[in-house]
């Protein structure tokens, strides 16, 4: 935990406060957006590798299913045949795990940063700052003057002021749906009369489970987290679109 705090959490905390000190009008929402983009740009090589690995595995699903059915009664032969299949197509089923773990670590870190700041009513903890980072004290609550970043949606007291926060959460959930849909685009459809395999079932469940989870997080936790999630997911959508365009350009040659 000490290593996590010293190497990831504390630098992110200080980066966020340092950017907040310099952004116009000291808008904490803009600082969150800038830090989110910096994180996503720094992790681009890893996230690109993860996206490519997921797509390769999706494209191989029909052959994987065929191999599994061919050696259904012999698990040892099935495992060997699958390894040969992966080797033939130069694919490692676990190659997307490391990028996912690294991104998850940063997600936890930025979540803790925003959650701790929000829980402190947007007061900066001077003990967590480096000596060269100015302590602004109380951070401004509003993003663009319309969304209270420290607030949560209280359905017992919905007011007009809650609308921007609710809209932000809905946009974040919608972006999550689009990103998952893009990842599923190349997945082979299940032939008529045949049952979908485990990976196809999981993909379909994640198409709705992901946005539902985003809605839950966005409503139950401060709006600053929903803003981070929206920007992060929007970046991933743009990256996936760019990768798809690159693939289409290579195939067109």
pLDDT digits (tens, 9 = 90+) for 161-197: 778 888 898 999 999 888 888 777 655 555 545 555 5
Query: Distance between CA 85 and CA 111 in Å, rounded?
Result: 39
Which of 98-107, 118-127, 188-197 holds the top average pLDDT?
118-127
Residue boundaries of the structural domains of the chain: 2-252
End-to-end distance of the chain based on CA atoms, in angstroms?
50
Contacts with 93 (C-beta within 8 Å, 6 or more apart), sequence order: 57, 86
Q: Return phi, psi of residue 138, to 5°.
A: -80, 125
To the question of pTM greater than 0.85 for the whole model, the response is no
**pLDDT value at residue 190:** 52
Q: State whether residue 186 is helix, strand or coil.
A: coil
Does residue 116 or residue 100 have the better pLDDT? 116
Neighbours of 221 (CB within 10 A): 18
User: pLDDT tens across 36-66, in order?
Assistant: 999 888 888 877 777 777 777 777 777 777 7
């Amino acid at each position: 935990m000490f290593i996590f705090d010293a190497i990831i959490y504390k630098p992110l905390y200080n980066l966020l406060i340092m950017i907040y000190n310099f952004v116009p009008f000291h808008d904490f929402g803009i600082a969150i957006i800038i830090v989110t983009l910096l994180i996503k740009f720094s992790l681009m090589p890893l996230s690109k590798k993860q996206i490519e690995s997921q797509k390769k595995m999706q494209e191989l699903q029909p052959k994987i299913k065929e191999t599994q059915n061919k050696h259904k009664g012999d698990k040892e032969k099935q495992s060997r045949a699958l390894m040969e299949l992966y080797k033939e197509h130069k694919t490692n089923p676990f190659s997307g795990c490391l990028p996912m773990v690294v991104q998850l670590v940063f997600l936890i870190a930025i979540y803790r940063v925003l959650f701790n700041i929000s829980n402190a009513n947007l007061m900066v903890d001077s003990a967590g700052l480096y000596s060269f980072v100015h302590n602004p004290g109380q951070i401004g609550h509003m993003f663009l003057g319309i969304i209270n970043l420290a607030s949560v949606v209280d359905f017992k007291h919905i007011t007009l002021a809650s609308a921007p926060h609710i809209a932000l959460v809905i946009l974040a959930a919608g972006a999550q749906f689009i990103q998952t849909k893009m990842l599923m685009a190349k997945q082979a459809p299940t032939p008529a009369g045949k049952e979908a395999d485990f990976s196809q079932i999981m993909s379909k469940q994640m198409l709705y489970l992901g946005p539902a989870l985003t809605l839950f997080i966005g409503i139950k936790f401060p709006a600053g987290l929903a803003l981070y999630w929206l920007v992060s997911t929007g970046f991933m959508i743009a990256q996936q679109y760019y990768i798809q365009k690159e693939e289409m350009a290579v195939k067109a040659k």
